[in-house]
């Protein structure tokens, strides 16, 4: 990480590793500003983008526990806009051929990215063009997003393919609003963020904390690092979307996301809050329960058994649970992992992993939108990060294992 954040590379990074519920490594590297004058802080705030999806899935599963959502039910039960779905069967954007969908979209399909929305896959061109005409991302709120999305036909029948796209998770966020009677951000704050003491996570950063937001970079056509020209860099800490995006709208610190990840690892509650003393936690003992253990087990289990093979297209060794990938065959992965490891990255070079066998949470937060096609774009760090983190964890565990064998 030190080498990766030298001049010419990433600006800075924060890494946090928990083992057995306790912080064992928590460091800041480099700087948080493009001028490289402000050192990175451990409490720096990052745009976590798609790491928001796991949070949204947890909110949906809370409501399922309360009997307010049936994940096997058609989404139209809660959002009538999605009744009578049509699927593109050919033609062009100006003259599409449509047919009725063979089944309704269910909540489970949304949770597993198998709803059939256009997702940039081969054959999606017509459905993509029709979706863009109504431009759901231009909506002012989640209700508007859903209304716009529902006007377009599907690219595939629900339940027949994995098509990774933010649309499904935005629909889940709207589902939370409709079922709970609260705005999505208010629901998350009351039912997840407050109970877990997640103090700096949210869809916008308060004015008095915006100096902690790390600059967001990308690589220019000349191969040099430059500031991203999007609105969240022009006004760091401003909302990433006009609506509260459950697919990618959250800002967070390493400590806040670590609390959420440890809650999942511990089966729905943080088993011992004293492990977060390095994050300012003053309490000890278990935290409040926010999910049942069996619910978390469902989230962290591969849910793509209907597909052959039951994996997502980005890694032959991974299936997908609710809100993140699940390692089902470590031998087929390029990066080290235990069976059952769960996690997901964000678009701006953030990543996290929960390893139940190692009892470890590992988080690395950077702020760079990669352009892999441009020479000079900084190399991806996740593979080396996890390889080194797990090697250190395994080495630290070895003496205790050896001691145990002599008893």
What is d(CA 110, CA 118) in angstroms, rounded to the nearest whole number? Answer: 13
Q: Which tens digits make up the pLDDT trace of 319-364?
A: 999 999 999 999 998 777 899 999 999 999 999 999 999 999 999 9
Residues 6+ positions from 329 with CB-CB distance below 8 Å:
316, 317, 339
pTM assigned to the model: 0.95
DSSP string, 145-212: HHHHHTTSPBSS-TTS-----HHHHHHHHHHHHHHHSS-HHHHHIIIIITTTT--S-BSS--GGGGGG
Has residue 51 been placed in a domain? no
Has residue 272 been placed in a domain? yes
Buried b / exposed e along 87-119 (16+ C-beta atoms within 10 A)? bbeeeeeeebebeebeebbbbbbbbbbbbbbbb
Q: Which tens digits make up the pLDDT trace of 18-67?
A: 999 999 999 999 999 999 999 999 999 999 999 999 999 999 999 999 99
What percentage of residues in the chain have a pLDDT greater than 90? 93
Q: Which tens digits make up the pLDDT trace of 352-404?
A: 999 999 999 999 999 999 998 998 899 999 999 999 999 999 988 876 655 55
Mean pLDDT on 190-216? 98
Nearest CA among 213, 237, 287, 258 for reference residue 19: 258
In this prediction, residue 25 carries a pLDDT of 96
In this prediction, residue 334 carries a pLDDT of 72
What is d(CA 75, CA 9) in angstroms, rounded to the nearest whole number? Answer: 45
In this prediction, residue 39 carries a pLDDT of 97
Nearest CA among 139, 122, 114 for reference residue 304: 114
The per-residue pLDDT of the chain, averaged, comes to 95
Has residue 27 been placed in a domain? yes
**Token pair of 113, please?**
């990215």
Has residue 136 been placed in a domain? no
Domain count, the chain: 1
In this prediction, residue 406 carries a pLDDT of 42
Has residue 352 been placed in a domain? yes
Has residue 80 been placed in a domain? no
In this prediction, residue 407 carries a pLDDT of 34
What is d(CA 254, CA 39) in angstroms, rounded to the nearest whole number? Answer: 16
In this prediction, residue 256 carries a pLDDT of 98
Q: Which tens digits make up the pLDDT trace of 103-134?
A: 999 999 999 999 999 999 999 999 999 999 99
In this prediction, residue 336 carries a pLDDT of 75
**Token pair of 313, please?**
């297209």
Has residue 318 been placed in a domain? yes
Nearest CA among 291, 349, 341, 293 for reference residue 320: 341
In this prediction, residue 396 carries a pLDDT of 85
**Token pair of 253, please?**
């610190």
H/E/C letters for each residue in 247-304?
CCCCEECHHHHHHHHHHHHCCCCCCCHHHHHHHCCCCCCCCCCCCCHHHHHHHCCCCC
Range with the poorest average pLDDT among 67-71, 299-303, 372-376: 372-376
Domain that holds residue 262: 12-45+205-238+253-406
Give SS3 for 308. coil
- Max intra-chain CA distance, the chain: 75
């Amino acid at each position: 990480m030190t080498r990766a954040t030298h001049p010419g590379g990433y600006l800075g990074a924060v890494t946090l590793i928990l083992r057995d519920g306790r912080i064992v490594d928590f460091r800041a590297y480099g700087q948080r500003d493009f001028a490289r004058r402000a050192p990175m802080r451990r409490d720096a705030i990052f745009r976590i983008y798609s790491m928001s999806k796991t949070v949204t899935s947890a909110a949906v599963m809370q409501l399922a526990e309360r009997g307010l959502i049936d994940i096997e039910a058609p989404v139209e039960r809660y959002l009538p806009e999605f009744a009578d779905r049509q699927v593109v069967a050919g033609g062009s954007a100006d003259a599409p051929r449509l047919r009725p969908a063979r089944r309704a979209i269910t909540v489970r399909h949304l949770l597993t990215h198998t709803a059939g929305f256009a997702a940039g896959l081969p054959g999606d061109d017509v459905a993509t063009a029709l979706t863009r005409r109504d431009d759901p991302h231009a909506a002012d709120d989640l209700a508007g997003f859903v209304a716009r999305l529902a006007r377009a036909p599907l690219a595939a029948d629900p339940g027949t393919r994995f098509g990774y796209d933010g649309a499904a998770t935005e629909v889940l966020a709207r589902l939370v609003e409709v079922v709970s009677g609260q705005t999505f951000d208010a629901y998350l704050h009351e039912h997840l963020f407050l109970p877990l003491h997640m103090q700096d996570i949210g869809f916008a950063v308060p004015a008095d904390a915006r100096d902690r937001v790390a600059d967001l970079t990308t690589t220019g056509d000349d191969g040099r690092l430059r500031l991203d020209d999007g609105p969240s860099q022009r006004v760091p800490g401003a909302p990433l979307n006009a609506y509260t995006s459950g697919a990618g709208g959250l800002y967070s610190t390493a400590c806040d996301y670590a609390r959420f990840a440890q809650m999942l690892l511990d089966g729905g509650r943080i088993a011992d809050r004293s492990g977060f003393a390095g994050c300012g936690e003053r309490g000890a003992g278990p935290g409040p329960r926010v999910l049942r253990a069996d619910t978390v087990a469902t989230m962290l289990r591969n849910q793509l058994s209907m597909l052959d093979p039951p994996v997502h297209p980005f890694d032959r060794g991974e299936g997908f649970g609710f809100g993140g990938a699940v390692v089902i065959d470590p031998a087929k992965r390029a990066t080290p992992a235990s069976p059952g490891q769960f996690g997901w990255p964000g678009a701006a070079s953030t990543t996290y992993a929960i390893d139940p066998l190692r009892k470890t949470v590992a988080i690395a937060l950077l702020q760079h939108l990669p352009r892999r096609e441009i020479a000079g774009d900084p190399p991806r760090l996740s593979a080396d990060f996890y390889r080194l983190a797990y090697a250190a964890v395994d080495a630290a565990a070895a003496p205790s294992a050896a001691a145990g064998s002599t008893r």
